[in-house]
């Protein structure tokens, strides 16, 4: 276990102005708080926060972050409270510890929901202070290093969660060293056979290629020295999980990979990056299509480097990454290094060139974008889904007609592009031009595409877009717009219900009066209350009571059943009925169906819309005590050839060809069989019960079919199913 003075010395070595007293007090407080607690390995629990602090000290973080690392489990696993930490160490450190404290007592049904809530809290805390993330990642990394002491099923769960969330999150924030170690540990746990095959193969390749790699390294050094470039050249080997992921993504064998071994060239200035690239390309032939300039177009996690692949000695393909020292630090340590270099001329130059004068890190901008999704009120499951989408995709870079750069996940469409610009642009998008040509909104965008969005104020995003969109922001916005449209429909339906009830009491509907009554109904505003009525969550009679109107529910129910038909607005549904609010979701009662010519009523079904029943349906009896759910409907004008469902049942004599007679009659008279059930009567071998869901044009057409069936010798009885 690291001693107290050793930790302090490690921090003061890179930060002489560090608060030694703070570090000493945090060390002692955490050690006493954890007391005799043990980890699953049997070692003292305090060793864990101490190792987390050591990881962060290696990243050269400030004294407050080191103190928070020492204290990060005290609120969660000991009797300490956030208030205790605030009083003893100040609000800054208390806020860091609170952001790291897991949500233990949430009433969540699934592990996924708990995981999503914990991630929400972590990301919210990160948005206020990114040091929360640094401590959390160091905490997870040390837990992974000691996973051999954990039960196999828990070990696999922690490894999978790390692969799903924490490793990609580290990558998004530019912390590649931590991401690589996390992925390799988890890969070893989740897929040990593949890991062994790749590591064994890497070992053999290293032995076979060792002399060639040394030769390339020496030749690169000589080339740069001759041209006066002070460059640090060193070889690098692709990590096992990175190799596996590329093999899966590109369907390649290990022998087909060309970039298992590569070199990093670290120079002093931006100019030397491009000079070094030119020297390499003059010395060896460049491989077409393998050049990427992430200096002029950085990745979203602030990664900047020049990538190129050349055919080196012995016809060996060699990948090179050329970058400055600052770029290298940020590539390895991400946001942990960015703060150390934020005042340097190089970073300022990059910020002004790539981000239009803002000195904000791209990683922080991605985090702020994620917070927008979080604050839109999505469910925990949706938020977790969207976060995973944002974490995992590679990128394409596209441009607006004015030259603004938009980074999107690979596979993104113009819909994603529109929402990346602004939610209102996505909501009003009706088309696009890609590189000056009209293109479908389902088109996948490529690097360098110029995308122009065509808009219309009359447009609302259709729900089907959610399946097309790739980004979490677009999916969340589409889902939100769909919910708003459905809510608007239910609010209109609720208003119709309340208006009809008020009309029976000779009272005119008033928005002002309803607004006064809303608090008594437990809703924020009138629209919420009316939407609740439309969904069937709130009784229309309760609204009348809140308005101070005496209601006789029995009289209202009776009047509802005997009310004359009224023509209303034509619904947006393909079902031709009148009396439903415009845009209402309509469906037929499954057990009976309904056809033009029959008297019909609607029943509001929560979260599903209106179910259409024929007036004789016995299922309506269950709604007798819920008059506010009834809607008077009338048939409109069907489209030519439009069919409607009706369920009929008959007694069929058990003889050869009887079923054929039935289907022949229905077909001959122009009906269509949608569903057929044949059941032998228990204890009676001579008869079957045959039930058919038949599609017909109207009530007359249905009667013709039923009369035709009655005329067949094999059919004993025919009747309409009443539910």
* Cα–Cα distance, 364 to 375 (Å, whole number): 16
DSSP letter at 496 equals H
Closest C-alpha to 488, from 451, 460, 446? 460
DSSP letter at 525 equals S
Taking the alpha carbons of 339, 342, 347, 350 in that order, is the dihedral positive or negative? positive
Task: Select which of 40, 76, 271, 511 is catalytic.
Answer: 76
- Please indicate whether residue 73 is annotated as part of the active site: no
* Cα–Cα distance, 551 to 152 (Å, whole number): 64
Asked if 439 and 432 touch (Cβ cutoff 8 Å), the reply is: yes
* Cα–Cα distance, 190 to 295 (Å, whole number): 35
- Please indicate whether residue 226 is annotated as part of the active site: no
DSSP letter at 593 equals B
Edge-to-edge strand order for the sheet containing 429-434? 437-439, 429-434, 451-455
DSSP for 144-197, please give it.
Answer: HHTGGGS-HHHHHHHHHHIIIIIHHHHHHTT-HHHHHHHHHHHHHHH-HHHHHH
* Cα–Cα distance, 354 to 334 (Å, whole number): 17
What angle do the packed helices 131-145 and 152-161 form, to 10 degrees? 150
The CA distances from residue 173 to 180, 302, 303, 418, in Å, are 13, 8, 9, 24
* Cα–Cα distance, 165 to 387 (Å, whole number): 8
What are phi and psi for residue 408, nearest 5 degrees?
-135, 160
* Cα–Cα distance, 55 to 44 (Å, whole number): 18
Q: For residue 384, what are the contacts with CB-CB under 8 A and spacing of at least 6? A: 112, 115, 116, 119
Tokens 């595409």 map to which residue?
449
**Could you tell me how many residues make up the chain?**
723
Closest C-alpha to 147, from 40, 228, 241? 40
In 606-723 the beta strands, taken as DSSP E runs, fall at 609-614, 630-632, 634-635, 644-653, 672-680, 687-696, 715-720
Instruction: Centre a 10 Å sphere on the Cβ of residue 466 and count the other Cβ atoms it contains.
Output: 17
* Cα–Cα distance, 695 to 709 (Å, whole number): 15
Q: Which two tokens stand for residue 323?
A: 């970058």
- Cα angle 135, 74, 129 (rounded to 5 degrees) comes to 35
Task: Select which of 62, 77, 553, 570 is catalytic.
Answer: 77
Active site residues: 76-77
């Amino acid at each position: 276990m690291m001693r107290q003075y050793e930790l302090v010395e490690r921090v003061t070595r890179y930060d002489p102005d560090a608060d030694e007293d703070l570090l000493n007090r945090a060390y002692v407080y955490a050690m006493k708080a954890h007391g005799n607690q043990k980890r699953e390995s049997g070692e003292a629990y305090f060793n864990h926060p101490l190792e987390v602090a050591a990881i962060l000290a290696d990243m050269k973080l400030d004294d407050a972050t080191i103190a928070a690392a020492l204290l990060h489990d005290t609120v969660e696993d000991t009797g300490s409270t956030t208030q205790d930490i605030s009083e003893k160490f100040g609000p800054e450190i208390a806020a860091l510890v609170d952001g790291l404290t897991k949500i233990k007592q949430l009433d969540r049904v699934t592990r996924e929901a708990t995981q999503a809530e914990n991630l929400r809290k972590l990301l919210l805390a990160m948005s206020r202070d990114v040091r929360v993330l640094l401590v959390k990642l160091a905490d997870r990394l040390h837990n992974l290093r000691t996973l051999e002491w954990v039960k196999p099923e828990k070990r696999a769960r922690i490894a999978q969660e790390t692969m799903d969330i924490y490793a990609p999150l580290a990558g998004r924030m530019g912390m590649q060293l931590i991401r690589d170690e996390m992925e390799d540990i988890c890969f070893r746990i989740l897929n040990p056979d593949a890991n062994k095959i790749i590591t064994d193969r890497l070992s053999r390749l290293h032995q076979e290629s060792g002399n060639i790699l040394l030769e390339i390294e020496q030749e690169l050094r000589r080339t740069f020295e001759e041209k006066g470039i002070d460059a640090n050249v060193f070889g690098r080997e692709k990590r096992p999980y990175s190799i596996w992921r590329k093999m899966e993504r590109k369907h390649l064998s290990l022998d087909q990979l060309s970039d298992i071994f590569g070199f990093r060239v670290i120079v002093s200035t931006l100019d030397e990056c491009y000079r070094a690239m030119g020297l390499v390309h003059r010395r060896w032939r460049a491989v077409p299509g393998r050049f990427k300039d992430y200096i002029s177009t950085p990745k979203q996690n602030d990664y900047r480097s020049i990538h190129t692949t050349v055919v080196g000695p012995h016809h060996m393909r060699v990948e090179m990454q050329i970058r400055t020292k600052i770029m290298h630090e940020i590539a390895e340590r991400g946001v942990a290094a960015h703060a150390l270099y934020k005042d340097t001329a190089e970073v300022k130059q990059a910020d002004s060139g790539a981000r239009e004068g803002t000195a904000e890190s791209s990683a922080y901008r991605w985090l702020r974008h994620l917070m927008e999704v979080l604050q839109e009120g999505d469910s925990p499951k949706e938020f977790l889904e969207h976060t995973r989408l944002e974490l995992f995709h590679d990128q394409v870079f596209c441009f607006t007609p004015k030259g603004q750069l938009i980074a999107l996940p690979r596979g993104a469409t113009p819909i994603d592009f529109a929402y990346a610009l602004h939610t209102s642009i996505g909501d009003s998008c009706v088309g696009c031009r890609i590189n000056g040509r009209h293109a479908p909104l389902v088109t996948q965008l490529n690097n360098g595409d110029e995308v122009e969005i065509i808009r219309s104020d009359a447009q609302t995003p259709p729900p089907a877009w959610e399946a097309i969109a790739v980004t979490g922001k677009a999916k969340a916005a589409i889902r939100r717009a769909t919910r708003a449209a459905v809510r608007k429909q239910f609010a209109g339906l609720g208003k119709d219900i309340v208006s009809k009830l008020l009309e029976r009491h000779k009272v005119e509907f008033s928005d002002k009066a309803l607004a006064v009554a809303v608090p008594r109904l437990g809703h924020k505003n009138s629209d919420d209350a009316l939407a609740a009525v439309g969904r069937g969550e709130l009784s229309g009679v309760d609204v009348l009571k809140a308005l101070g109107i005496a209601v006789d529910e029995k009289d209202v129910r009776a009047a509802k059943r005997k009310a004359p038909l009224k023509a209303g607005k034509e619904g947006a549904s393909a079902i031709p009925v009148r009396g439903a609010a415009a845009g209402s979701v309509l469906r037929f009662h499954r057990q009976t169906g309904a056809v033009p010519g029959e008297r019909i009523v609607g029943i509001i079904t929560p979260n599903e819309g209106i179910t259409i029943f024929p007036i004789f349906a016995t299922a309506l009896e269950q709604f007798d005590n819920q008059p506010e759910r009834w809607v008077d409907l009338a048939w409109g004008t069907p489209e030519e050839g439009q069919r409607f469902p009706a369920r009929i049942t008959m007694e069929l004599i058990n003889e050869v060809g009887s079923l054929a007679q039935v289907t022949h009659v229905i077909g001959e008279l122009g009906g269509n069989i949608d569903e057929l059930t044949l059941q032998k009567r228990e204890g009676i071998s001579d008869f079957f019960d045959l039930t058919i869901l038949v599609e017909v044009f109207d009530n007359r057409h249905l009667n013709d079919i039923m009369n035709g069936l009655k005329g067949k010798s094999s059919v004993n009885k025919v009747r309409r199913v009443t539910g």
